[in-house]
Structure 1
């Protein structure tokens, strides 16, 4: 077993534990909702799930760093290996009873994501992928490898667009509308799921909201790339560290990025 495969096994085991904690609370609706300074929701389930994940990773990999959305940095802050986690991506859906939320677990090396696990227990899906391990999805015990589509004409493409006030502030909302109109079909799936649908080949393009954070993106990027896709910011830079994210099947990427420029 390779080192990355060992890290994957750990990440999936930790995701199992997180799912076992978060899903019953989602089903039972037994939580309270607070608001963070950026006006996004947070619950004690987010905070406690992150603590569970961080403690498991620090115990198993004491020579790694761990960075989480709610509690910041733990473990070895000087390590080139750093886990980046979002305990519940899609909290706004979680609190409203919408099943589109997931635990995101990424492993980065010198700030480059090399492994990602995305576990969405309310949907019954889990995706994973990374360098040298391909891209995969499992639903209710059925596993398959995944790959992006081969659609090379935007007029035949399925796109997912997440409108947000950030796009308005950039003066680019009309660009998003034009992109939607140019595509065969447009959907607004949002959060992690749109990018995983690109990795599966079900969607061809996903454009995220302005204002995303590294912990929103770190687990998604290696899965999309392992599936043969391209994952960048709105300028086409291959990073998870900026506040925008665009994933495509690769064939359409240059055209999509060009369409998002002022």
Structure 2
């Protein structure tokens, strides 16, 4: 069985290499901000960070594919690095410390390694296939994490994304049904929701609109922590356009609520 410990160590090196760039620009008056065609925020630091990550990968993994949020895909082969230089750019440009660099590795279309580096929170989360999921500041200062053991929806804590992202969505009513059935609902958003599920602080997190760069690093962390990561249809992995992470015990019930298969008994 292939192991990816060397790739995981490299991911930490990559995160170290870009940390100064992201932290120096965070809350800086000189930070340049613009908007993409879809209306999402883009900062100068997003582009600079991805360029740095690509530069290091071109030297250390020159034969691998590199796919990022901001720049075009390069390379050919079965190993694909998937980068989100700053996940949570809207937080980043407003001075909110909940943002992270996401580094994922997909081999033969399987997500095998992921690292989430959130330097403003002084935290990282990471996992590689067969090696468990961990959190801490570095490989040498780490604690293994596991999902919760909550097994009933009415006892569960849910994190969602922006409420407006459900407007017009086919499963909006199912989501509202699920949210009403849960014990507690918050909107931590972005990577933060999913790593909180991985470490057992939350029981589920749901986003109706995401891209591969948002999820490739998260899927291995959730699964190695004992949880499950799918899209809204229940397809495992980060390759859909939506995300559902859970402790695993609740996942089938979550999908049932989202489909609207259960009668609404909350009113």
TM-score by shorter chain over 0.5: yes
Q: How many residues align?
A: 258
* TM-score after normalising by structure 1: 0.94
Cα distance in 2 between the residues matched to 1:55 and 1:3 = 24
Give the superposition deviation at 1:211.
2.3
Cα distance in 2 between the residues matched to 1:163 and 1:37 = 19
Residue 160 of structure 1 is matched in structure 2 by 159
Q: CA contact under 8 A between 2:82 and 2:213: conserved in structure 1? A: yes
Residue 210 of structure 2 is matched in structure 1 by 212
Q: Secondary structure at the match of 2:259?
A: coil
Structure 1 consecutive aligned stretches of length 4 or more whose deviation exceeds 3 Å: 139-142, 163-166
Give the superposition deviation at 1:164.
4.4
Residue 65 of structure 2 is matched in structure 1 by 65
Aligned-residue CA RMSD (Å): 1.5
Cα distance in 2 between the residues matched to 1:197 and 1:16 = 22
Deviations for 1:203-240, whole angstroms, at most 9, x for unmatched residues?
001011x2210000000000000000000000110121
Give the superposition deviation at 1:166.
4.3
Give the superposition deviation at 1:170.
1.9
Deviations for 1:6-51, whole angstroms, at most 9, x for unmatched residues?
1111110000111121012104242111111111000111001000
Give the superposition deviation at 1:173.
2.8
Cα distance in 1 between the residues matched to 2:34 and 2:110 = 32
Q: Secondary structure at the match of 1:128?
A: strand
Q: CA contact under 8 A between 2:211 and 2:241: conserved in structure 1? A: yes
Give the superposition deviation at 1:142.
4.5
Tell me which of 110, 116, 141 is aligned to 1:112: 110
Q: CA contact under 8 A between 1:161 and 1:176: conserved in structure 2? A: no
Residue 13 of structure 2 is matched in structure 1 by 13
Deviations for 1:145-166, whole angstroms, at most 9, x for unmatched residues?
0000111011111111124444
Cα distance in 1 between the residues matched to 2:161 and 2:178 = 12
* TM-score after normalising by structure 2: 0.92
- Name stretches of at least 5 consecutive residues in structure 1 with no aligned partner: none
Q: Map 1:121-132 to 2 at 5 A.
A: 121-132=119-130
Q: Map 1:222-241 to 2 at 5 A.
A: 222-241=220-239
Tell me which of 134, 137, 146 is aligned to 2:135: 137
Q: Secondary structure at the match of 2:121?
A: coil
Q: Secondary structure at the match of 1:72?
A: coil
Cα distance in 2 between the residues matched to 1:185 and 1:41 = 30
Residue 172 of structure 1 is matched in structure 2 by 171
Cα distance in 1 between the residues matched to 2:148 and 2:9 = 28
Q: Secondary structure at the match of 1:160?
A: strand
Q: Secondary structure at the match of 1:15?
A: helix
Give the superposition deviation at 1:167.
2.1
Residue 41 of structure 1 is matched in structure 2 by 41
Q: CA contact under 8 A between 1:106 and 1:115: conserved in structure 2? A: yes
- Name stretches of at least 5 consecutive residues in structure 2 with no aligned partner: 261-267
